[in-house]
A and B are shown apart, each in its own frame.
Chain A
């Protein structure tokens, strides 16, 4: 993913960065509630945080996660800072790891989204359910966690293919 965004950090790419993050937030809260499969929604904010980290590096990834999380904390969450913290960590770690490894590999993206989802969901579940002593982990695992994981991965893969297609077309045009 990184290579396609990151040729150079032009001003345009930063505008795109902000626009895509806002679009992700709007889609997550307005579009996806109508597109649930088996009662779950994919986590677009997570994908956006990971993508921001991979495409732009640690700091922009961290900032993306922080602001997306904070926004949904303020508008939808109960405790402010919970989602912000989780997405912040995910954005930072994605940026950090993709700095270490070979860039632009789709496998790395898949692993980051997958691990990020597991971390995020467990963290939020722990903080908002187990701390209220509501124990229904088996239900949560089979009805929300696993379907949500699969759905999120599928959406991430779909978005990756779309981005790849567009950047391929752009690259071809530039060559001409």
Chain B
């Protein structure tokens, strides 16, 4: 009897045990978001340091690679750049003047709450989803650096994604082109609200779809900017998502939909900025 049990536990038993364990994890993570907790800590001490190290090595190698240019090229470039500096100095002076004017006018209109003023912290992308069905990535900053769930992630001037999970030294970000991404947005110049949705079929082309925009008299054209709307409860207001590339009136004649070209180049994401305030902080609502 004991032998039998032993031989059963030998291999098949382990197999069923592990399968059961996986099933339990799946069920648990359907009900609570804390299932991965212990594993998250383990990952933070094993794979994440390696990824960070490799990432640093990659940057280093790239820097070395870009060091191989000849003196002649550098001299040429230097003289060109000097000429360019002169041009820019003149331009800069003009712009400075205009900036003072702009500041004054902004103050008049109380418009200085643009998202340039949100506090941000920079992070490196150290790994991307290995599969083909999703677009998520992890960054090298986590709880210890003050990152929390639902913080917005920018790249350059555009919205890249949102933090969905945080480990001690890393955080998982779902990009806006992922199939599970849904954002409440609006056009910048006419404030028409719409929903921006990621889509598997568009993900690879780097496009996103928008829908449910009211078919009103306001004119929407290709090239119009789309930003996060004021009514979103996860995304801060006024962050650029992308530019409209195509718009059409839906069959019901009540709404409009179309496609956006995102402001972020997702195929080559390396550095991102995380806004260290969530919408819940801004509105004073507590996270559930």
Residues on A close to B: CB < 8 A? 22, 25-26, 28-30, 32-33, 39-41, 43-45, 58-59, 62, 66, 70-76, 78-85, 88-89, 92, 124-125, 128-129, 132, 134, 136, 139-140, 143-144, 148
Contacts and interface: CB of A to CB of B under 8 A. Distances in A.
Given A76-B138, A79-B30, A71 B43 contact: yes
Interface string B201-230: 100100000000000000000000000000
B19 A29 contact: no
21 contacts: A22-B47, A25-B47, A26-B47, A43-B130, A58-B15, A71-B39, A71-B43, A75-B47, A76-B128, A80-B35, A80-B36, A80-B39, A81-B24, A81-B25, A81-B29, A85-B26, A88-B18, A88-B19, A129-B133, A143-B204, A144-B200
Contacts of B55: 30
Nearest to A139: B201
Contacts of B21: 81
B193 interface: no
Given A79-B29, A124-B133, A62 B18 contact: yes
A121 to B, nearest CB: 8
B33 to A, nearest CB: 10
A22 B53 CA distance: 14
Given A22-B47, A30-B55, A128-B133, 10 more contacts: A26-B50, A59-B14, A66-B22, A72-B130, A73-B36, A75-B127, A82-B22, A84-B25, A85-B26, A143-B204
- 4 smallest A-B Cβ distances: which pairs? A81-B25, A85-B22, A39-B204, A29-B127
A76 B201 contact: no
Contact of A80 (B14, B15, B25, B134): B25
Contacts, number: 127
B65 interface: no
Instruction: Tell me what chain A mostly uses at the interface: helix, strand, loop, or mixed.
Output: helix
Given A75-B127, A84-B22, A124-B133, A129 B200 contact: yes
Interface string B129-149: 111111011100000000000
Contact of A29 (B30, B51, B180): B51
Contacts of B19: 85, 88-89
Given A76-B138, A80-B39, A139-B201, A62 B132 contact: no
A92 B16 CA distance: 11
Contacts of A29: 51, 127-130
Contacts of B134: 76, 78, 128
A22 B47 CA distance: 8
Contacts of B50: 22, 26
